[in-house]
Amino acid sequence: MLQMIVSGVALGAIYGLIALGIVMVFKATGILNFAHGEAAMLSAFVAYTLFKLGLPLWAVVPLTLIFGAALGMAIERFIIRRFIGKALLSSAICTLGLFLVFGDLAIWVWGKDTQELPSIFPSAPIDIGGVIVSGLDLGIVAVCATLAALLFAFFRFTRLGIAMQATMENPTAARLMGIPIKRIYALAWALSHVIAATAGLLIAPLTFVHFSMMQHALHFAFAAAVLGGIGSMPGALLGGVIIGVTSNLTGAYVSSAWKDAVPFIVMLVILIVRPHGLLARAQVKKV
Amino acid sequence: MTQVFDRFPWLGPLLFVLAFVLAPLVPGGYVLYIFTLVIIYTLASFGTNILTGYTNLISMAGAVFFGIGAYGSAILTTHFGVPLVLSMFLAAGIATVVGLLLALPVLRLEEVFLAIATLGFVMISVEIAKSSGELSGGENGMGAPGPVLFGWELDERAYHLFVAVVLAGALWVARNLARSHFGRGFLAIKGSDTAARALGLNTTALKLVAFGVCAFYTGLSGALYAPLVRFIDPSLFSIMVSISFVSMVIVGGLGSILGSVLGAVFVIGAPQLLTYLGFDQFQRALYGVAMILALMFLPDGLASLFTRKRLPAADAAEGGVAK
Amino acid sequence: MTVMEQANPALAAQGTAPLLSIRNVRMAFGGIVAVQDVGFDVMPGTVHALIGPNGAGKTTMLNCISRFYTPQQGSMRLATPSGEVELLGCKAHQVARLGIARTFQNLELFAELTVFDNVLIARSIAMRATLAEALLGLPRQRREERAEREHVEKLLEQLGLQRHAHAVVRDLPYGTQKLVELARAMALEPKLMLLDEPAAGMNNREIDALGDTLRRLQVSTRATLLLIEHSMPLVMSISDTITVMHNGAFLAQGTPRDIESHPAVIEAYLGGGKSGKRR
C-alpha cells in the first residue's frame, strides 16, 4: 500500500506540475490553455530527437527546457496575445486549436510509433525504511519538490517574481505602476512551458514518448487545478498529488475501471462543495 | 455578395433546400450519405450555437450528448422495440437530463469551470460506454437498425427527407426561442452577466436552459446518426467529436443559422476534401488551424462573408437592419 | 430615532416609513474594509444623493444593496407592499424583481445589441410566458412580445431615443449610451433607482439636461432615486437629502443646505490635516 502511495505521489507530482503550468498562465493572462499537455509532449519528442542525435542526457535536458521556453514565448507572441483580456471563449478555443495542431504536428514529424526516452534517474529500486521505492519515483518527487521550491523563491524573493504576482492580482494597477506587463505575459507563458517540458521529461519513462502520451494526464491535471483552486499555484501541486494518490489507491483497491473516473468525481465534488478549491481564496468579482 | 442574403432573406433557405435537400437525392449513394450527415450535423450545430454562439459558454460535452443520443436510440429500438420517432426524442430527452444534472453544479460558477468540467465529463464517458457490456456492446460497439417509420423501411432517400423535415422543425423551434425573451436573455448573459442580473434575469437558470437545449439538439442529432451509419461504438464519446461541434460554430459563425450550416459543411466537407487530396491524417490539424484562423481573422465566421446581420433573430424590428 | 431623524428632526415629525433602511453595513475585501458600520434611511419619493471623496465606499455600498457584494454584517431592509424584505437574503437577480433598478459607473450595456434590444431585455421580468410557450411560439408569448415592444417604443420616445432605436449601442456617443442605460433601468418600472454617477463624463449643458430628466422622471413615476454623484451643482439642485460618506464610514446627512456648510464635509473634501487624506 505504501508502494502505491509513493508512486501515486510521484505520478501526482507530475500531474501537479502540468496543473501548475495551466494555473500560472490562467492567473497571469486569464487564458485556459488546453494545449499545455501537447506542449509537454512536443518537448518530450524534441528531447528524444536530441538524444537520438547522440547528445548526452545532461545536454538534452537544458536544451529541451529552452525549447519549452521558446515555444511558450512564440505561442504568446504570435497567437495568444491578441486574446488577453477578451472573453474566455475566444482564447480557450484558440488553445484548443493549438491542441489539435500540435497533435498532428507530432505525428507528421515523428510518426505514430512509440519511442523510448531513457530516464534521467536510475530505475533500480531503493529500499527506504523497509519500503521498496523505485528510483524513478524518488527522482520525480525530488525534481518536483526542487522546482516547487525554486518557484516559491522566485515569486517570493525576486523582483521579477513579485512583479509577476502583482500582474496576476491586478494587471491595470501593475501597468500603472510601471510593470512591463507584456513582458510579464511572455515570461508567464515561457515559464509555464518550461514546466511543461519538465513534466514531459519526467513522465516519458512512464508513458513512453508518443503523440497521445499526454491526453490522459491532461484530464488529471485539469482536475488537479480545480481541486487546488484555479487561482492557486501551490494548490495545483497539492491537487495533483492528492489526485495521483487517490487514483492509484482506487485502481489498486476498488477497480481499475474507476481509476480514471477519480479525477472527474473529485472535481465535481469540489465544484459543488468548495468551488474555489482547497487553497485559493473565494474571489469576489469587482463590479 | 454580402448584401445578397440580407436583401433576399428567402434566398438562403431556398438555396439550402435545393442544394442540400433535393439535389443530393439525384445521385444517391455516398454523395447522398454525405449530405444527410451535413444535415444531421447542422442540427447539432444549432444546439451548440445556442450555447456557445448566443450565451457564450464553452462546453466540451457535445460528444457525450451525441453519443447518448446515438446509443439511446439504438438501444431503445433494438432491445426495447421502441418505434423510431419516439426513440429519437426519448434518447434526446435522456441526453438532456444527463446534461442538466451535470451542468447544475457548474453553471453558477465562472465559465472556466464549465469548460473544465465538461472536458472531464467526456473523458469518463468513454469508460462508461466501454464497460456497459450487454446493453451497448461494450468496447466493440453495437449495430443500430436502419430507420423504420410506421412500419415502412426508409431507404436512403426517404431517410434523407425525414432528416430534413426534423431539421426544419428544429429550426422553427430554435427561431422561436431566439426571438423570445429567453433568446434575448442568452444574449444578455453574453453581453454582460452583471447587467443581466441587475435587470432581474436569473442567469443561472437561463444558462441551464441554454445547456439543456444544446444537449437536446445534439442528442437528437446523435439519434438521427445511428440509423444512418448502422453501427456505433464508444469512439463516439471522443473529445474530437466535441471539438468538431465547437469548430462548427466557430468556423461557421457564432449565433447565426447560416453559420450553423456553413460550419456543418466545413466539418463534414473539409475532411472529405483532405482525403481526396491524400492528406486525411491531418484532419485534426485542419480543424485546429481553421479555428485559430477564424478567431484571429474572421471572428464572425464564414457566415460574415455572406451576410452583415450577425444575429438576425435578435434584431428587434422584423427585417430591420442595423444602421 | 433613526439616523435620518437625528439629522433632520422635521422629518421625524412626519412619521413616514423609510423605503430603504440600511444599518451597520460592513463590507471588507480580504484585509481592506471598504464600508464600515454605515447606516442611513432612504425615504420614499425623494431624491437622495450619496456623496463623498473618491474611495469613500459609495459604489461598494450600492453594490451591496444590489447584491453583487455580500456584506459581512449589517442589514438592508426594503419596504414592499407585502412587508419588509431583508435584501441580504436575496440574490442579485431578485433585487430587480423587488423593484430596485440600477445603472453602473462604467456602463454595463449590451454593447453588441441595439438600443431597442437593450431596453427590451429589461422588460423580461414583466413577461410571464414559460419556456414551453416560447419554444412553440404560443399565443401568450406572442401577445406579450407585442405588448412589451410597444412599451419599449413609448419609453424610447419619452427619452428622445427613438431615432437611435436600431443602432448598435457600441456605435453610439457616450452621452447617448448613458441615456440608454438610464432607459433600461426605467424599463424595469422600479420603485427605487440606484444611479452610479449618472453625470460622469458629461459637460455642463448635458448635466443640466440630466437634472431635468431626473426631476421629470421622479415626478412622473414617483420613484425614489438614490444617486452617487460628484457633480455638486447637480446634487445641490435636485436632491432632497444628501448622505456623505468618507473613508468607508458615514460622515453626515441632511438637506443640501445643511451639507453645503457642514464643517466635517468641507474638511473631508478639501483633505484637511486631521481627518487625513487616504490616497
The per-residue pLDDT for range C71-122, each reduced to its tens digit, is 999 999 999 988 899 999 999 999 999 999 999 988 999 999 999 999 999 9
Sequence letter at residue B60:
M
Which one of B181, B190, B200 has the shortest CB-CB distance to C96? B200
Q: What is the pLDDT of residues B82-113, one digit of tens each?
A: 888 899 999 999 999 999 998 888 888 888 88
What is residue B309's predicted lDDT score, i.e. its pLDDT?
57
Distance CA(B99)–CA(C99), nearest Å, equals 34
Average pLDDT estimate for C196-220: 90
Find, among B304, B188, B259, B305, the residue nearest to C113 by Cα: B188
Is A108–B106 a contact, with Cβ atoms under 8 angstroms apart?
no
C216 C-beta neighbours (distance < 10 Å), count: 12
| Domains of chain B, first to last | 4-314 (1.10.3470)
| Residue B199 and residue B48 in contact, taking contact as beta carbons nearer than 8 Å | no
Q: What is the pLDDT along chain B (323 residues), one digit of tens a residue?
A: 556 666 777 777 888 888 888 888 888 888 999 999 999 999 999 999 999 989 989 999 999 999 999 999 998 988 888 888 899 999 999 999 999 998 888 888 888 888 888 988 888 888 888 777 666 677 777 888 888 777 778 888 889 999 999 999 999 999 999 999 999 999 999 999 999 999 999 999 999 999 999 999 999 999 999 999 988 888 889 889 999 999 999 999 888 888 999 999 999 999 988 888 888 788 889 999 999 999 988 888 888 887 765 553 444 333 333 32
Is A104–B284 a contact, with Cβ atoms under 8 angstroms apart?
yes
Chain C neighbours among B 165-194 (CB < 8 Å)?
172-173, 176-177, 179-185, 187-188, 190-192, 194
b or e along C243-263 (b: 16 or more beta carbons within 10 Å of the residue's beta carbon)? bbbbbbebbbbbebeebeebe
B157 in contact with C, Cβ within 8 Å: no
CA max distance for chain B: 60
Is A96–B243 a contact, with Cβ atoms under 8 angstroms apart?
yes
**Minimal-distance CA residue of chain B relative to C119:** B199
φ/ψ (deg, to 5) at B272: -60, -45
Q: Which residue has the cell 485534426?
A: B284
Residues with Cβ < 8 Å from B217, sequence gap 6 or more?
A: B43, B44, B46, B47, B48, B50, B92, B170, B174
Cell digits for B241? Answer: 467529436
Average pLDDT estimate for C263-273: 72
Q: What is the pLDDT of residues C134-165, one digit of tens each?
A: 999 899 999 999 999 999 999 999 888 999 99
| Domains of chain C, first to last | 3-99+190-270 (3.40.50.300), 110-172 (no CATH)
What is residue B24's predicted lDDT score, i.e. its pLDDT?
83
φ/ψ (deg, to 5) at B199: -95, 10
What is residue B319's predicted lDDT score, i.e. its pLDDT?
30
Chain C neighbours among A 252-281 (CB < 8 Å)?
281
Distance from CA of C82 to the nearest CA of A (A): 30
What percent of chain A clears pLDDT 70, i.e. is strictly above it?
96
What is residue C58's predicted lDDT score, i.e. its pLDDT?
92
Distance CA(A161)–CA(B22), nearest Å, equals 63
Domain spans of chain A, in order of start: 2-273
Does residue C276 surpass a pLDDT of 90?
Answer: no
Distance from CA of B65 to the nearest CA of A (A): 17
pLDDT band of C271, cuts 50, 70, 90: low
Domain A2-273 maps to which CATH number in 1.10.10, 1.20.140, 1.10.3470, 1.10.3430? 1.10.3470
Q: What is the pLDDT of residues C239-256, one digit of tens each?
A: 999 999 998 899 999 999
C104 in contact with A, Cβ within 8 Å: yes
What is residue C1's predicted lDDT score, i.e. its pLDDT?
46
Q: What is the pLDDT of residues A97-124, one digit of tens each?
A: 999 999 999 999 998 888 888 777 776 7
What is residue C72's predicted lDDT score, i.e. its pLDDT?
92
Chain A residues within 8 A of B123 when measuring between CB atoms:
219, 260, 264
Does residue C10 surpass a pLDDT of 80?
Answer: no
Q: Which residue has the cell 453501427?
A: B231
What is residue C101's predicted lDDT score, i.e. its pLDDT?
95
Give the H/E segment covering residue C150. helix C139-158
Residues with Cβ < 8 Å from C8, sequence gap 6 or more?
A: C241, C253, C254, C255, C258
Give the H/E segment covering residue A160. helix A159-169
Which segments of A10-168 are extended strands (E)?
125-128, 131-134
Average pLDDT estimate for A51-66: 88
A282 C-beta neighbours (distance < 10 Å), count: 10
What is residue C35's predicted lDDT score, i.e. its pLDDT?
92
The ipTM value here is 0.87
Residues pairing with C50 in the sheet: C228, C243
- The count of C-alpha atoms lying within 13 angstroms of the C-alpha of A102, restricted to the half-sphere facing its C-beta, is 29
Rounded to the nearest integer, the mean pLDDT of chain C is: 88
pTM beyond 0.95: no
